[in-house]
Amino acid sequence: MKKSGPLSLQEQLLKSGLTSDAKLKQVKTEKRKQQKQQRTQGQTADDALKHELEEIRRAQAERDKQLNLQRQQAEAQKAVAAQIRQMIEQHQIAIDPNGAPFKFADDAKVKTVYVSADTRAGLVEGRIGIVKQDGAYFLVNTETAAKISERLPDCVVLLNSPPPAPEADDPYAAYKIPDDLLW
């Protein structure tokens, strides 16, 4: 049975003798190989795209993790600041605006608070400390200052250690060091 219609280009070339069956099979094989290669290249391009998208997702997840960690650290700092603020409010010792000036160093600067004579003695003897929060100075007892120092050491500006007990054989035990020198 013969086809009733125009012959394909391959059939026409074969009929005219310009090509052979072997060359025709070789061309078909080449054509199939090219099509297969194009399909696999398309798949590798898809695979490369998928791999690139996966890398972008990983980078985004890492970035999100870093941002989440920073947020948690910021929240923890806010919580510590709130705890310190609450401790200061609960254990604050009043500053006497009519009292004598008490000078102390804060970041290589001399600062002054006005305190009563009893409070001044407590500061010198180490029973009272000075803490700084939000640019303001507060007087608190030693225990509170120690707790604040555990949470945020930079808040404690002044916390003197109690004076040591005099030794029994100290020849200068009878001579007290003056602590009322004002500078």
Q: How far is CA 14 from the centre of its chain?
A: 77
Q: Are strands 109-115 and 100-106 parallel, antiparallel or unpaired?
A: antiparallel
Give the whole-angstrom CA distance, residue 38 versus residue 42: 6
Question: What's this model's pTM, rounded to 2 decimal places?
Answer: 0.56
Provide the pLDDT confidence category of residue 5 given band limits of 50, 70 and 90.
low
Are the CB atoms for 87 and 151 separated by under 8 Å? Answer: no
- Choose from 10-24, 33-47, 147-161 the range with maximum mean pLDDT: 147-161
Residue 102 to residue 111: CA distance in whole angstroms: 8
Q: What is the pLDDT of residues 98-141, one digit of tens each?
A: 888 888 888 888 888 899 888 888 888 888 999 998 888 899 99
